Amino acid sequence: MYDYLIVGAGIFGAICARELTDAGRRVLVIDKRDHIAGNIYTECTEGIQVHKYGAHIFHTNNRKVWDYINRFAEFNRYTNSPIANYKGELYSLPFNMYTFNKMWGVITPDEAEEMISRQRAAYIEGLQNSRDTITDSNSSDTNLKTVGISASVTTPITAFIPQNLEEQAISLVGTDIYEKLIKGYTRKQWGRPCNELPASIIRRLPVRLTYDNNYFNARYQGIPMGGYTGMIERILDGIDIRLNTNYLDPKVRKQLDSEAGTVIYTGPIDALFGYRLGNLEYRSLRFEEELLEIPNFQGNAVVNYTDEETPYTRIIEHKWFEFGKDSEGKDIPVTVITREYSHEWKPGEESYYPIGDEKNLNLYEEYRQMADTLPDLYIGGRLGEYKYYDMDTTIEKALELVDRLIQCRFT
């Protein structure tokens, strides 16, 4: 008999399993897939760790989480510096002085700031002429600050309330950056033009007036050497695991429930209730992987294709997450690339990005309330909570849950 059954061997389930085991509980972990590690699963091809469910770069500002995860993996010094390819023109991301220099030939931060401000002001003025606006100079500055641009790169004369994502983006970074680096990419990602998407999708658009391509700008960043699967294997060391085991198969569930006192479920919350109130919606991804007999395809791990015509959103060249070296430090003569396509999710497909609009959040809340009535069942992780969580937040959430469980049982 187990104290805990953990449904899902992703990072959330694995951390719960480790901590509960270390606290003296008997734990069984199951996963319906034929592998552990959930969506951070990596698989070795020709010495290259391939991120099978999308590129994953660990980054955090949380020292506790960083120290914790370093117990299970040695992280390399990888820093995410994606490149944008717009019809063959290459730009640095996130938007920084390298981007502005390439876009406009400007050299100094003042020149860049001036260019952005001018474009923003012209755009806002054009829109203001064509529709009613709220005039309040104090709320103007606050409004623009809350959407994430430094006050110095704003034109806080008249408040501007963006009505859609296009207006939001241009009011933050100006027309050129929007047209070349945001418009097409966002359309592909969300399957709709920017002027039909809510402004709230882009709350912040980091604009850096420094020559710094470090995308995440986190205090700690890197890739676990030897891949994420090895890291999860070490987290789960010594713990019973059953793969190819679907908790939602009624016979399997009955058997498993009889083997464990408490269940921690990290699968989709709507699936747990047989979708009886309807499906929660996601954006999904399709990956097209190719092994190429050349040593270098694009010279960078991540290249985003920001025009509308290229059907994929980005190409990942996995070997550059580990600097093109195999586990013995030797150069790898071949390469693996993955083209990433974004599409509308249909029931039964892999769920990637929660839609998170009002309709879906309300539905989630209803499922959450149903789940709260079930005894000895805890729900967590990105699917259980219907939230986009980075890995560091997922770890934090798992550690919090275990703390609660241990305290409520034994105090």
| Least Å from the CB of residue 185 to ligand FAD | 14
Q: Name which of 20 and 57 has its Cβ closer to ligand FAD.
A: 57
Annotated catalytic residue 31: no
Contact 184, 191 (CB under 8 A): no
Annotated catalytic residue 350: no
Residue with tokens 């150069």: 331
Structure tokens at 179: 């047209």
Count of Cβ atoms closer than 10 Å to residue 17 Cβ: 27
Q: Name which of 17 and 153 has its Cβ closer to ligand FAD.
A: 17
Q: List the catalytic residue out of 91, 208, 215, 322.
A: 208
Annotated catalytic residue 26: no
| Least Å from the CB of residue 6 to ligand FAD | 9
Q: List the catalytic residue out of 220, 314, 386, 392.
A: 314
Count of Cβ atoms closer than 10 Å to residue 302 Cβ: 21
Annotated catalytic residue 276: no
Q: List the catalytic residue out of 388, 403, 404, 409.
A: 388
Q: List the catalytic residue out of 26, 283, 339, 368.
A: 283
Element (H, E) at 317: strand 314-317
Q: Name which of 57 and 84 has its Cβ closer to ligand FAD.
A: 57
Annotated catalytic residue 68: no
Q: Name which of 30 and 207 has its Cβ closer to ligand FAD.
A: 30
Annotated catalytic residue 71: no
Q: Name which of 178 and 345 has its Cβ closer to ligand FAD.
A: 345
Structure tokens at 314: 């980005």
Contact 46, 336 (CB under 8 A): yes
Count of Cβ atoms closer than 10 Å to residue 159 Cβ: 19
| Least Å from the CB of residue 267 to ligand FAD | 3
Residues 152-157: contacts with CB under 8 Å, at least 24 apart:
152/113, 153/113, 153/116, 153/117, 153/120, 153/207, 153/209, 154/117, 154/120, 155/117, 155/120, 155/121, 155/124
Annotated catalytic residue 283: yes
Q: List the catalytic residue out of 167, 281, 340, 392.
A: 340
**Which residues of the shown chain bind ligand FAD in the complex (CB under 6 A)?**
7-13, 30-33, 38-40, 54-58, 246-248, 266-267, 285, 352-353, 381-383, 389-392, 394
Catalytic residues: 204, 208, 283, 314, 340, 388, 390
